[in-house]
Structure formats: C-alpha cells, structure tokens
Amino acid sequence: MKPEASSALELAFRRSSARLVAQLYARLGGTRLDLAEDATQFSLLQATRQWPVRGVPDAPDAWLARVAHNRLTDLVRGAKPTNEGADDELALPPVDPPERLSQEFGDDELRLLFATCHPALSVEVQVTLCLKLACGLSVREIARALLSEETAIAQRLVRARKTLQALGGALEVPGGAALGPRLLAVHQALYVLFNEGYERTDGESLVDVSLCAEALRLVEGVVSQRVTSTPEGHALAALFCFKAATLDSRVDGSGSFVPAARRGPARPELIARGVLHLKHAMGTALSRWHLEAELALIHAQGPSNAWPWPRILSLYDDLVRLDPSPLVALNRLVAVAEVEGPHEALAALERLPGLEGLEAYPWRHAIEGSLHRRLGALPAARRAFLRAADFAISEPQRRFLLGEARACADA
C-alpha cells in the first residue's frame, strides 16, 4: 500500500467514527442516538468491504460521511415512530455531507460528549458509553481500560442505549450548574482515552499517539467553550500535555519500552502548553487531575534519580484520599520505596486493600519484582517479573518484563 493511503486511513476510521456519530446525532436534532450509530457503523462496514477491492478513495472521510448521511436518510424513512400517535415523526433536515470532516472541535462533538454522560445513567455507565460513542474505543479496549470483561461492557452498552431510548425525545444538554455532574464523567472518559494511547492494551505497539492526540484535542475543545470550561478541565489538559511530552521517549527505536530512569528529554513545546493550562487551573479545590498533572510534570523532568521523591509521595497521599482505588495505592508504593525504603513498600503491598483485584494487572507484579530485587531477593524478583510478563498487555511490555526477569536470573 502507498504510504499516503495508509496515513489517510489512520485519519479515516477511529476519528471519523466519533465525529460522524456526533454529526448525524446533531442532524437528528439530538434524538435517536441508535440511528446515528447504525448509520456510522454501516458506512465503516461499506468502506471495509469496498476499499480493499476498489482502492482507498482520495478523501476517505468525505466518502464515509456521504455513505453515512445517505444511510441515515434511508433509516429515517424506514424508521417506525416509537410511540403511536405522538408527534415523534422524525424530521430530518437535508444536509450536504461535508467535503471533509472538520479537524476543529465542533459543537456536534461537544454535544455528543455530554449527551452520552446522561445523569439517568450511573457515572460508570456514562464513561463507558462516552468512550464507545464519542471517543471511538472498541469494547475490548474499554474492557481492558476499566479492568472489566468484554461481555460485561457489551451488556452495559446495550442497557445504556435502552435507558436513553426509553427517555425518548431529544437528549438536551443542559447549561450552567446542571452540566457539572456530566463534566465529571466526560473528564473521566477522556482520561481513559488518553491512557489507552499512552499505554496500549492491545497488540504490537506500546503507545498510540493518535489516541493521546485525540484526547488532548477533545479536552482542549471542552475547556475552549465558555459553558464547559472549568479549572478541573484545564488541569486535565495540563496532565495530558505533560504526559504527551514524554510519549516519544517511552519507546526506543526498536519499539521497546524504556523505563523512566533511562528516558530522554521531554518535548518542551508540550510542557509549555501544559503550563499554560495550569495557569487556568488555579483558584479552586484541588482535583485529582491537579495532583496527577503535577506528578506528570515531575516525571517529565529529568531522569528518575533526580526526582523529588518526598514531594511525589505527598502528592500520592493526597491522591489516595481523592481516589481510594487499589491502582492509585499501588502506584504510591513506588514513591514509598524511594522515601521509606523497599522493605516498607513491600510490607505495604502485602496489606494493600483490594490487591487481589489487581492480580491480572502486570505492573502490580512488576512493582513487587523491583522491590524484591532491591532487597536482593533475586529468585522472588524473577518470579514476580515472570508473572508480570504473563499478564503483559502488549508485545513490547512483555519483552521488557521478560528482560527484567532474565536480568534477575543472570545476576
């Protein structure tokens, strides 16, 4: 395949999918999310089956938009009213499919982000639906990211769509204070989206820069609108910038994982962009995004032996109070090991509440392995790294963990 066709594809599918759903949903006047989704899925399917044989069109996203809009028109013509006698006859304004899907953050996308985070759903379900529809993640990716099963996520999505369907009418997106609770889920979903790109849960590559870029684009879209701009949103945007600044240095030329101690310098333009967001993040109570942004900024600066570990530990202490999840508590132990020593960290690991839930999380074993290693217990360290490799979620990660295990055996 020609390289230009390949990069056109990158743009076309995942990003176009979320944008198309948003656009079609807006065209339907904020009703029938299911039809917007069906028409989008149809156009992706048509592309999948036609492009390989006929070749990728010059403007893939415009092709997808045209097919999806036409399909929506057909679907609406064929759609039966949901309630007999009610004035819910679907009126579909005619629209010329765009020449290109806009790269700018549009009202349609904002509306879809907030529509999927509907308070009739629990926050967990809002996040799931938002990831699927507005962020374009697959069920498999969502399941991995939320430490859940694919079937559970699929069922959750089915129930969520039914709940929204039963509400009928347009899913109005409120303004002002009513928007607050939805912001929480929108921020969480974007956080998951970014992390999915930062640490791929699928396949050959360790990072997917396009997912991180998409998360950053969406959060900057959210904070660029007066009604949805909050200090928390800016803190989240800062967090993304600081983490994105180190994306390149997490992977070496051969696609292998580079641990923090050996990473190259962060990208200064992204650090500067994050600092700008931090300025707008001042003035309210500290959110977990503020704490994580500061941690990410520290991580982006210099090698890990120069990091201010006591400050890191105190940030984690605050973070654990805001988010008492086992995952945060686990990451805190890395700082405990540096400040109080590996022995204390290992003892704390054994007492960690909810530890059994992290069994399939590779870093839980990798952290244990590195603590054993620092205490000189190499066989135990090796076992832990091997166990971590068993649960590795990408090839580069597995290679790295096996390398760590091997190093313990050789020493």
Partner 1 sequence: MARYLLLLHENPAVFADLSPADFEAIVREYTAWSADLRAKGRLVQGEKLKDEGGRRVKREGPRLLVSDGPFAEAKDVIGGLFVVEAASYDEAVRLAEGCPHLRYGEIEVREIDET
Positions that interact with partner 1 (CB under 8 A): 1-2, 5-6, 9-10, 12-14, 16-17, 44-45, 47-56, 136-141
CB of 370 to partner 1, least distance (A): 32
How far apart (Å, rounded) are the C-alpha atoms in residues 292 and 251?
22
Q: Residue 205: CB partners within 8 Å, gap ≥ 6?
A: 251, 255, 394, 395, 396
Question: 49 or 343, CB closer to partner 1?
Answer: 49
Radius of gyration of the chain (CA): 23
Transcribe 280-341 into DSSP letters: HT-SSPPPHHHHHHHHHHHHTSS-GGGS-HHHHHHHHHHHHHH---HHHHHHHHHHHHHHT-
First to last CA, the chain: 46
Question: 9 or 402, CB closer to partner 1?
Answer: 9
Question: 60 or 369, CB closer to partner 1?
Answer: 60
CB of 281 to partner 1, least distance (A): 32
Helix ranges, 225-265 (H): 231-244
How far apart (Å, rounded) are the C-alpha atoms in residues 47 and 397?
33
CB of 76 to partner 1, least distance (A): 17
CB of 129 to partner 1, least distance (A): 14
Angle at alpha carbon of residue 346, lines to 342 and 348, rounded to 5°: 115
Question: 211 or 296, CB closer to partner 1?
Answer: 211
| Chain centroid offset of residue 247 CA | 15
CB of 82 to partner 1, least distance (A): 23
Q: Which of 198, 234, 216 is nearest to 270 (CA)?
A: 216
Question: 206 or 245, CB closer to partner 1?
Answer: 206
How far apart (Å, rounded) are the C-alpha atoms in residues 194 and 201?
12
- The two tokens of residue 24 are 């079609």
Residue with tokens 């069922």: 155
Question: 75 or 319, CB closer to partner 1?
Answer: 75
CB of 28 to partner 1, least distance (A): 20
CB of 389 to partner 1, least distance (A): 25
Question: 8 or 402, CB closer to partner 1?
Answer: 8
